[in-house]
Every structure is written in structure tokens, then in C-alpha cells.
Amino acid sequence: MHVTICGGGNASHTLAALLSSHPDLMVRVYAPFEDEAARWRTNLASAPTPAGQGLMAARTRDGTLYGKPHEISAQAEGVIPGAELILLALPAFAHRQVLSDILPYLEPEVLIGALPARGGFDWECDQVFNGRGQGVTYFGLQTLPWACRIERFGTAVTILGTKWEVDVAVWPPGKAVQVAVTLSDLFHLQVKPVSNFLSLTLANPGQIIHPGIMYGLFHHWDGSPYKEAPLFYQNVDQHTARLLGYLSDEVQAICRELQSQLPELDLAAVIPLHEWLRRSYADDLGDDSSIQSCFRSNRSYADLRAPMRAVAGGLAPDYQARYLVEDVPFGLLATRGIAEIAGVETPIIDEVIGWAQYCMGKDYLQAGKLCGRDIAETRAPQRYGIKTIQQLIGGTI
Ligand code: NAD
């Protein structure tokens, strides 16, 4: 199979190393930034590894895999034609640009998906592909299957943990099982099909976890510089854990209301946060008894620190980090927009969005309505002209 991975960061390095270790896959990389593509090629050409020159290493707890992508390019026309599977391993704010860049070179029957999808990936695809009749099958994974960090750019990546099971939504839905089987084989983990993209959008765990923990860590920050970056997950205290639970409860309330209005809508995949943590990190949790203990005792999350930027005298929280600039406009705002359409109040989600938009210098929520000037930059359904529950589900039932 011919696979092209889009992106030049942690997730893309992980996929490039893992997939190119399969002898029967032809793996190419579309790294949209020219400097990243050039650096990746140069470093890889001279990478000395125990397995030989010019290979990428993916280190896991169980050992190291080696592979070599066939080609790395910043030119879509060089690496997209011929691809049967295209994987967007990028932050959601890059999806639209990358989808538009690769569109002219797609094969008619291509399978294309995002890991992770975040919220509203289907609405974005529909707009970029100009409706759904292009022969393209697209999918979104609920989350990235790996916690991973580049160790040496272009040559080595560390996989801190692998999720036990990951959900996938597929358009058209009739291809969901086939796509899930293909991805399970490729990634060596359980990829489970869910009924529709709406459940993937609502079940997106990053929208709760990342802005929720950022809020917990920093909403009382007094402006004094930090000496070192606080641990992100291991610092989840009782207050933050409670907030995360409330955010998850509000998502469940949205699901109940949607199902009361449309009983045949299957939202079973939208599980509460505590259940999701237990399911995703089954082998990694020292203590799974509460949301707080799931974060503090999770081996995949150990030692990961909050995003910070250097300021006079130390460090300050980085409010332009993807935990806010990706997970609020491409996660929490999609869910908040669904709540508005369903007529569900979400005071805790609103509190977190209100704080985050202030920190990011954005304007999304005004007097309880999604009508701020920056809505057009988000994946809130309102941005796509979606106003009804029928439009939200996009013909899946
Ligand atoms: P990253 O920051 O390492 O990589 C981002 C890459 O995306 C860049 O290197 C660049 O190649 C590309 N990119 C960024 N902005 C772009 C733009 N405007 N146009 C085109 N390309 C652009 O990110 P990552 O860690 O690889 O994460 C990828 C996705 O996976 C994100 O959605 C992230 O939230 C998610 N995720 C990552 C992890 C992890 O452990 N790394 C865990 C869970 C989820």
C-alpha cells in the first residue's frame, strides 16, 4: 500500500518510523514547511543507528523499531499522487490548509484521515471537498494513538505510551468497518468504528483535558514568573479534576438532549471522561479510582510539562500553545456550538472558553452566544452555516 503522512512534527515522525518498518508499505512524507522537509532529509541521510545508516528509530517501552520513509517533500505534487492512504498527523488548525494543498493531487478512490480529528473534521472535509460526492473516503480518529515526542529531528522519536483502543468515524459510514480493520492492522491496536462524526466531535477528549487543565493551572496566576514549567498532568489537583468532571458532565447533558430530540441518533461512543481514561490507558494507570488519580498515576503522562514561554525573570504560561489554540477553537467551540443548536446550557464550558479567549486575545463567545468576531476561524458548526440537529448529523441517519 502507498501511504503519505502529512506533517513534520511528533505524530508524523512516529507514523513515518512505525509504518516504514513494514516491508510491504511504501511510505512518503508531505512536510508542508520547506525548512522541516529539508532538515528531515538531511538529518536522516546521516543518521547512524545500530540498525544501519539513514534509518528512523521509534523507541517504545518494548524496544526500538527502525524504518526509512521513501521520500520526504514539501511539495504536495511530489508525494500525494499515487497515495492510497493519506494520514493528516497535524494540529487541527492546519487541516484546512493541508487539505486544500493536496486536493488537486488526490487519487479518485483515496482514503484520507486525521489523527486526531478533533471537532468538526467532517464539516471541514465537506467544505473543502465541495460536498461528499468526490469518491474520497475520509475518517477521523478520536485521538492520536500514541503519546510521542521527537527525540532527534528526522531520525528518532520516543513513544511514551500507546492507547489500548481508539475510535474512528468514517464517511461514508458504510465503509467504517473496512477502514477500522485496515487501520487496526497498520497501527497494531484496536481501532473501533463509531456510528457518526457527531459522536467523535462530542467525545473528543482533548477539548476537555487540555483547556481544562490549563484553566486549572493558570486561571489564578498572579503574573509572577515561574522558575520551572509545572508538570501538566501530575499537577491535576482536586479542583481541576472536579472541573474536568463537570466539563464531561456537560457533554453528557448535550448527548441526552440530542437523543431526546432524535431517539435513533447513536451517541454511545461519547463516554464520560473517567471511563475514557480507564479504557484508553488500561495498562498505564497506577490508580484508576478517580479522574485525578488517572492523571497523576498515568505512565504515558509522566513528566510532561505545561507549555511556557521565557519572560524576564523566568517563565510564563504560553497561551498560544496548542492546548488552547487548537483545543478551544477546534474542540470546545465545536461542542459549544452543538449545545447552542440543541438548546443546552453549558456554564462550565462557557467559563473555560471565556477565560481561554481572554488569554488568547480572541472573541468567540459574547453574552452567552457564539457570535464573536473570530468564530470564522473555528470549527463551531455555526461557521459552516449549520443551524439544525438534522444538519449536524449530516445525513448519517
Ligand atoms: P507538532 O507540534 O509536533 O507538529 C506540528 C506539525 O504540523 C508541524 O511540525 C508542521 O509540520 C505542521 N503544521 C503546523 N502548522 C501548520 C500549518 N499552519 N500548515 C501546515 N502544516 C502545519 O504536533 P504533534 O505533536 O505531531 O501533534 C499532531 C496532532 O496530534 C495535534 O492535533 C496534537 O494535539 C495531537 N496529539 C499529539 C500528541 C503527542 O503526544 N504528540 C498526543 C495526543 C494528541
CB 127 within 8 A of CB 394: no
Closest listed residue to residue 37, CA positions, set 79, 67, 2: 79
What dihedral do alpha carbons 275, 180, 21, 45 form, nearest 10°? -90
Residue with cell 462557557: 350
Beta strand 63-67 pairing with 2-6: unpaired
What is the DSSP secondary structure assignment for residue 332, as one 8-state letter? I
Q: What mean pLDDT comes out for the span 12-18?
A: 97
The residue to mutate among 86, 90, 124, 209, having the most atoms of ligand 1 within 8 angstroms of its beta carbon, is 90
Please provide residue 316's backbone torsions phi and psi, each rounded to the nearest 5 degrees.
Answer: -125, 155
* Cβ within 8 Å of residue 219, ≥6 positions away: 355
pTM above 0.85, yes or no: yes
Q: How far is the CA of 343 from the centre of ligand 1 (A)?
A: 33
368 vs 394, residue with greater confidence: 368
Q: How far is residue 315 from each of residues 233, 318, 320, measured CA to CA in Å?
A: 18, 9, 14
**CB of 105 closer than 8 Å to CB of 131:** no
Mean pLDDT of 6-11: 97
Residue 10 CB less than 6 A away from ligand 1: yes
pLDDT digits (tens, 9 = 90+) for 318-346: 999 999 999 999 999 999 999 999 999 99
The answer to whether 324 touches 228, Cβ cutoff 8 Å, is no
Beta pairing class for 146-152 and 137-141: unpaired
Q: DSSP characters for 141-152?
A: ESS-SEEEEEEE
> Does pLDDT of 50 surpass 80?
no
Q: In this model, does residue 49 exceed pLDDT 80?
A: no
pLDDT at 168 over 60: yes
Does 21 contact ligand 1 (Cβ within 6 A)?
no
| Residue 132: pLDDT over 70 | no
Amino acid at 206: G
Instruction: Tell me how many degrees the CA angle 176-8-197 measures, rounded to the nearest 5.
Output: 25
pLDDT tens for 241-295 read 999 999 999 999 999 999 999 999 999 999 999 999 999 888 889 999 999 999 9
If you average pLDDT over every residue of the chain, what do you get?
94
Is 210 designated active site?
A: yes
Q: Which atom of ligand 1 is nearest to the CA of 10?
A: 26
Residue 51 pLDDT grade (very low, low, confident, very high; cuts 50, 70, 90):
low
Least trusted range by pLDDT, from 47-56, 88-97, 125-134 = 47-56
Tell me how far apart the alpha carbons of residues 362 and 319 are, in angstroms, rounded to a whole number.
11
Average pLDDT over residues 214-218: 98
Which of 10-14, 166-170, 299-303, 348-352 comes out lowest in average pLDDT? Answer: 299-303
**Of the candidates 180, 205, 129, 143, the residue with the CA atom closest to the CA atom of residue 394:** 129
Average pLDDT over residues 26-54: 88
Question: How far, in Å, is the centroid of ligand 1 from the Cα of 53?
Answer: 27
As a whole-number percent, the residues of the chain with pLDDT over 90 amount to 86
Continuous H helices in the chain: 10-20, 34-45, 76-79, 95-102, 121-128, 176-187, 197-203, 206-218, 238-261, 273-280, 291-296, 322-325, 333-342, 347-360, 389-393
Ligand 1 pocket residue status of 36, Cβ below 6 Å: yes
Q: Tell me how far apart the alpha carbons of residues 143 and 208 are, in angstroms, rounded to a whole number.
A: 13
pLDDT bin (cut points 50, 70, 90) of residue 396 is low
Say how far apart CA 179 and CA 227 lie, in whole Å. 47
The pair phi, psi for residue 55, each rounded to 5°, is: -110, 155
Ligand 1 center to 89 CA (angstroms): 6
- Ligand 1 proximity of 92 Cβ (cutoff 6 Å): yes
- Between the CA of 289 and the centroid of ligand 1 the distance, in Å, is 31
| 203 ligand 1 Cβ < 6 A | no
Is the shortest distance between the CB of 340 and ligand 1 below 6 Å? no
Mean pLDDT over 358-362 rounds to 97
Instruction: List, edge to edge, every strand of the sheet that includes 2-6.
Output: 71-73, 26-30, 2-6, 85-88, 111-114, 137-141, 165-171, 190-193
Q: Looking at the chain, how many residues does it have? A: 397
Residue type, 327: D
Count of Cβ atoms closer than 10 Å to residue 32 Cβ: 19
Q: Find, among 117, 62, 164, the residue nearest to 379 by Cα.
A: 117
Ligand 1 atom nearest to 147, measured from its CA: 40
Q: Is the CB of residue 299 below 6 angstroms from any atom belonging to ligand 1?
A: no
Model confidence at 129, pLDDT cuts 50, 70, 90, reads confident
